[in-house]
Structure 1
Amino acid sequence: MDTRTEGRERLWLTGLALIGAVTLAATGLSALAGRLPHLIPAYPDWQAGAYRDLPYFLWWWIGDTTEAQFYKSGLGGVCMLAGGWLAHAAWKRGRRWAGFPISYGSGLWPWLVGSALLGLLLSDAAWGWTVPATGAWQPTFVPFVSVPPAVVLVYGAGWAVAATGAVLGAVLTTPVALLVVNFFCLPLGVPSVVGNVTGMWVGALIAFLVCRHLPWMPRPLPAPEAATPAVKQGPGWVVRRTLADFTEPQFYGNELASIGLISGTVLTYLLNPSTPVYGSGALPSVLVAQVIAGTVGVLVYRRRWAEAGWYPTFVPVVSVAPAVALAYGSNPVALVAGAVLGALAGPPLAAWISRRLPADFHPFIGNVVSMAACSLVIVPLVGLL
């Protein structure tokens, strides 16, 4: 047998084993959750108190940091941030166990996360009134995974850059997302993720245009060199890369941060299955769909990873896959079809759009446009199956 063919088979077997292990764990998680006492408030109680009580609000704010993954878990957010800090500290010290360099080895993680948290706080403070006013979830989280961290990555460190990104994120992305979700997605039955990411890309296009004319903004950082590091794409790489993709929306892309995110969210589910994923109880199905999408994307496009050093295989993990899980429940045909279609279509569309953006516009814009387009088409298409 050709060694290359043997190597491919080994990687695909690793991917299938990963999907099987997560599916088995998710099945056990579903069975176990119903037998445990509920030790934390359910999602409806949490939402009802978010804008009445300060402790609930602070926990809601931290929970918003995991909204990109559809988790809405305060504990998941705390553990993700702790994992991100650990990864950053380990990367600075050159530790081998640091995983993929957090925030793409830019060294900007502290500024990035600070700007994102401030933008999220401003968004919740300015637009959070929509939650009690409507009695329903609203996309106040969008700055955390869009304009603020992207501005820091384009313009670099500094208080002026971080504050500018935070303000632009809260002022531009959230209102667009609110309009699209409430006046397009909900009336037409379109997945809300379409409105969320539309707020991100529309707000980002405006924000980066504005940044060109702000006198206090420095020159954009030079584009990173396109040198491709020599990375052996063995079975361990497949697992690590799939795991790291879970925190790509936050611009972390690191396994330790992802382990914190997932473990904190799973613990939340065990403490009360009616808390994460908006109280739907769908966390096991969401996790399975996400792992299928992530694994298939990494395996199909592993050569793009080798050629470019980075590729947006995470796109369906935080858009099509969880949207399908929420729309169709634990239906295995729906979960597999949505995850695989998203994994095949999302990354190349995102890369194609990102390559055509101006140099001072962060390429995440292409990723979120792809999320919107793929979710708009694939989620209803899966329903035809």
Structure 2
Amino acid sequence: MKDLRFPIRQWPSLVMLVCLAALLIGSLFFGQWPDYTQMTATLDQPLSRLRWIVGDISEVAFYKHELPALGLLLGACLAHWAYVRGYRWQGFAICYGNGLWPWVFTSSLLSLLLSHLLWGWTLAGGDWQPTFVAFVSLPAAMVLLFGGGWQVTISGAVLGALLVTPASLLLVNYVCIPLGLPVLIGNVSGMAAASVAAFMMCKRFPSWVKLGQRPNGLQAVCIQPDYGLVWVLRRVLADFSEAPFFGNELASLGLLLGLLLAYVIAPAAPAYGSQMVVQMVAGQALASLVGVLVWRRQWQARGWYPTYIPIVSIVPVAVLTHGGDWQVVVISAVLGALLSPPLATAISERLPSHVHGYIGNVLSMAISTLAIVPLVGLIAEGGV
């Protein structure tokens, strides 16, 4: 019988998660829950800065709030615990069933904290900045590509903070904002450019990642999917946590429950105070549902397909740009679901072996958003 105990060297990630939860819960005893505008106006205060940093963990889904962030991490922790023990209710095995979730989380969190240490000064004016990008990009991709262990984990964290965050900051502030482009294009283009540079450096200096490890004795519960209705619904839910490389229903459920709680407590706090959480989530769910149904044969043939892309790009950008009318929600969801996954796959299949395939996904986000969001506005306004 295989040993399914949680390796002691992977406990640091759980310790960090517990400390994060303790800091957040402790912060809730101080005054009323601020809305997004109040938080950004007081970023010079430790509590507001803490909330911003924790909110970075859920920002990839455009929720930007500490409760969905904490829910995501607690759900992911539960999913990994179930995976380690081989429980059938674990859902889709977190981090694709490789047992690397603790290292993925540790590298991503370390990179996020280091990014704030190096680039947190950019928030001094109270304006939004893409400080979240290191948490959902290079560090996790390096662990998944090269394996776990402290050498890869720390290398990914440092490179994410030194390359990804400043690249996105530059593109957002000096390209997207002056040209009036959605800032998401700068976010994901920065991720892609910096990550390609980092992977090239890793190929040039293989000692940075040569000690990558993969856990022994950890296996997902292998159940042959029937790709029926239940699988479709599970896959739609799992897509909500795919961007941080979790891809698990429990993690997604924690994310969405945290978002619901945040919205009930203070409607103007999550999603940048837009008060369009309902429209945004409806469009994201519809986009995943359409994508999973249309591309189900690709899921069957490949085992994985990037149907999550419009959830974290086209749909929320369209809603925040053009409003939450049903035409905007439906058109952005359908077009995003039809066009962005095959584009991502076409790009990823042409990448060299030393570059993680997520590069194709983020490039597809940039291209699809640039093409689809203006079209959504024209169609919704009756211009086409």
Partner in structure 1 of residue 239 of structure 2:
245
Amino acid paired to 2:51: W
Give the counterpart of 1:91 among 83, 100, 104. 83
Query: Secondary structure at 1:232's aligned position in 2?
Result: coil
Structure 1 residue 127 displacement after superposition:
1.2
Structure 1 residue 39 displacement after superposition:
4.4
1:323 aligns with 2:317: yes
Cα contact 2:314–2:372 (8 A) shared by 1: yes
Partner in structure 1 of residue 329 of structure 2:
335
Q: For 1:216 and 1:122, how far apart are their aligned partners in 2?
A: 18
Give the counterpart of 1:298 among 270, 292, 297. 292
Runs (4+) of structure 1 exceeding 3 A deviation are 219-222
1:35-70 per-position Cα deviation (integer Å, ceiling 9, x unaligned): xxx9410112212333x2333322221110111100
Give the counterpart of 1:236 among 218, 230, 240. 230
Structure 1 residue 118 displacement after superposition:
0.6
Cα contact 2:340–2:364 (8 A) shared by 1: yes
1:67 aligns with 2:59: yes
Structure 1 residue 131 displacement after superposition:
1.5
Query: Secondary structure at 1:128's aligned position in 2?
Result: helix
Q: For 2:360 and 2:101, how far apart are their aligned partners in 1?
A: 21
Amino acid paired to 1:90: A
Q: For 2:255 and 2:59, how far apart are their aligned partners in 1?
A: 11
Partner in structure 2 of residue 203 of structure 1:
194
Cα contact 2:138–2:191 (8 A) shared by 1: yes
Q: For 1:162 and 1:339, how far apart are their aligned partners in 2?
A: 35
Q: For 1:129 and 1:274, how far apart are their aligned partners in 2?
A: 25
Matches within 5 A, 1:252-271: 252-271=246-265
1:193 aligns with 2:184: yes
1:145 aligns with 2:145: no
1:84-103 per-position Cα deviation (integer Å, ceiling 9, x unaligned): 00000101111111000000
Cα contact 2:148–2:213 (8 A) shared by 1: no
Q: For 2:46 and 2:203, how far apart are their aligned partners in 1?
A: 37
Partner in structure 2 of residue 19 of structure 1:
none
Partner in structure 1 of residue 18 of structure 2:
none
Cα contact 2:73–2:251 (8 A) shared by 1: yes
1:54 aligns with 2:35: no
Give the counterpart of 2:37 among 44, 53, 56. 44
- What TM-score, normalized by structure 1, do the two folds share? 0.86
Q: What runs of 5+ residues in structure 2 fail to find an aligned partner?
A: 1-30, 215-221, 380-384
Matches within 5 A, 1:12-27: none
Q: For 2:344 and 2:276, how far apart are their aligned partners in 1?
A: 27
- What TM-score, normalized by structure 2, do the two folds share? 0.86
Which moves more between the two structures, 53-62 or 283-292? 53-62
Cα contact 1:116–1:144 (8 A) shared by 2: yes
Cα contact 2:56–2:132 (8 A) shared by 1: yes
Partner in structure 1 of residue 275 of structure 2:
281
Partner in structure 1 of residue 4 of structure 2:
none
Partner in structure 2 of residue 81 of structure 1:
73
Cα contact 2:134–2:161 (8 A) shared by 1: yes
When the two chains are superposed, the root-mean-square deviation of aligned CA atoms in Å is 1.6
| Matched residues, number | 341
Cα distance change of structure 1 residues 163 and 219 upon mapping to structure 2, 3 Å threshold: closer
Give the counterpart of 2:348 among 337, 351, 354. 354
Percent of residue pairs identical: 49
Q: What runs of 5+ residues in structure 1 fail to find an aligned partner?
A: 1-37, 223-227
Cα contact 1:305–1:311 (8 A) shared by 2: yes
Cα contact 2:95–2:247 (8 A) shared by 1: yes
Matches within 5 A, 1:99-110: 99-110=91-102
Q: For 2:242 and 2:312, how far apart are their aligned partners in 1?
A: 9
Amino acid paired to 1:122: L
Q: For 2:328 and 2:71, how far apart are their aligned partners in 1?
A: 30
Amino acid paired to 1:155: F
Structure 1 residue 220 displacement after superposition:
7.0
Q: For 1:188 and 1:220, how far apart are their aligned partners in 2?
A: 42
Q: For 1:266 and 1:127, how far apart are their aligned partners in 2?
A: 30
Partner in structure 2 of residue 377 of structure 1:
371
Amino acid paired to 1:99: G
Q: For 2:42 and 2:89, how far apart are their aligned partners in 1?
A: 40
